[in-house]
Amino acid sequence: MNPFSKETLTQHQLKNNCLCLMTPEKQQIKSSMQFLGRIHENYVKALNAHFNEDKHNYLALNLNNKLISTILSNQNSVFLSDRIDTDFEANTDLLNNFVSYDTAYYQLIYEISNKVITAINLILDDNNALRDIYISGGFNRNEIFIKFLSVIKPSVTVRVPDVKNETALGAALLMKDYLKQAQFLTTLL
């Protein structure tokens, strides 16, 4: 999501799953939607079955900078397309290309990270001054994902807020302000 965009939503952005949301103050927030969490979930299940691993195995993986460098130098795309992915099911045949769970998982996260960077670039204004990316939700605990984002887009700092339920907190704060204004208007009437 980009709450700083001043440019109008384009046809190109609309065709690539972008929306423009409005705050109660009529400020736009551009959003790029991709269901990468669902893709991740399905591929993790397939990886676990293919390599006979525990369902939480990916959580125990240690950061392997050498493997990250190898994948980055190849820049191959195995699991995801260059376009909007509409099939969220894992293609288990693709797993035969990998000799280890780690290599397959790192490849998946590399491709997901590329999709995220592409989505971010899509909702930036031409004269953007992007310096920070804030990651919230379940993926913010994935050290491999954070590292790939940092390496793919080194011009920005990837930040992981230390707040639980950021979306709910933001919605509650907006609602609090809205209710305060509504109460003030009711008092005036």
Domain boundaries, the chain: 35-188
The beta-carbon contacts of 73-76 under 8 Å, at least 24 apart in sequence, are 76/107
Query: Over its length of 189 residues, how does the chain's per-residue pLDDT go in tens digits?
Result: 888 888 888 898 888 888 888 888 888 888 888 778 888 898 999 999 999 999 888 888 999 999 999 999 988 888 887 776 666 677 888 899 999 999 999 999 999 999 888 888 888 888 887 888 888 777 778 899 999 999 998 888 888 877 666 666 666 666 676 676 666 556 555
Q: How far apart are CA 178 and CA 138, in angstroms?
A: 28
CATH code of domain 35-188: 3.30.420
Q: Which two tokens stand for residue 48?
A: 């676990």
Residue 160: which of 146, 170, 171 has the closest Cα? 146
What residues form DSSP beta bridges with 133? 158
